[in-house]
Structures are given as C-alpha cells and as structure tokens.
Amino acid sequence: MKYLFIVLGSLCVGLGILGIFLPLLPTTPFLLLAAALYVRSSSRLYHWLLYQPYLGPYIRNFRQYRAIPLRVKVISVTLVWVTILYSVCRVVESNSIRLLLLLLAIAITWHILSYKTLRKEDLQDDEAPKVG
C-alpha cells in the first residue's frame, strides 16, 4: 500500500503542477491529496512537498487558514474566464456545449470566491493572519 500511495501522491503532484498552468484543472485539491497520500506513505516526501518554495504555501495556507490569497483568486478566475470565453467564441460550435462551458465557468468562479481571502501581508505578522 505504501508504494501505491507514493505513486498516487506523485501523480497528484504532477496534476497539481499542471493545474497551475491549465485553468480548468485545480491545483490546491491535488496538492492536498498528494500531501494526504504522502503522510501515509513517506515522511520524507511529505516534508519535501510541504516545504517546496512554490508548492508548499498552497498546502500550508489552505490547511491552516482555509483561505486563498487574493492574487491566486484573481489569477484563477481570470484564467478560467479567458479560457472559457475563448473556447465559447472560437472553438466550440454547439450552443449547448457553449452553455455548459459558461455554466462551468460560473460554478468554478463561485467555488473559488466562496473561500475566504488570505492577504499576503497578514501572513508576515506574528499574529494570526486576518481572513476576510
């Protein structure tokens, strides 16, 4: 089971990294799943993931504060809408598929905006960060 969890965790890390660049593929859920799989299989990989300079903050911030930084929200929502609108206007010909894509964009936007906003400057204080 240990090796299966390592393989699945590594796959989730890969999908999480792809999610940074592909707007419809979520980053944080895959990284959280990878962390959960690594914690059950390899303390070395778990520690590596949590303290990666770029990936680690996604996991630590979300686990600790259940919030998403404003910059990440803005970038995510913008990329979702740019991608969906491009697809609706230039790629897809079916009106029903266009409608489904627009509904998907609305759902993803709602999901992202439903989390509290974690402000970067609040993380640097000695106090607990403020979420709003």
3-class secondary structure, 132: coil
Q: For 12-57, how does the pLDDT look when each residue is reduced to its tens digit (9 = 90+)?
A: 999 989 988 886 777 878 888 999 999 999 999 999 999 999 888 8
Nearest by Cα to 49 from 9, 22, 76, 19: 9
Look up the pTM and report it: 0.68
Nearest by Cα to 106 from 118, 94, 95, 98: 98
Q: For 53-86, how does the pLDDT look when each residue is reduced to its tens digit (9 = 90+)?
A: 988 887 888 888 888 888 888 888 988 899 899 9
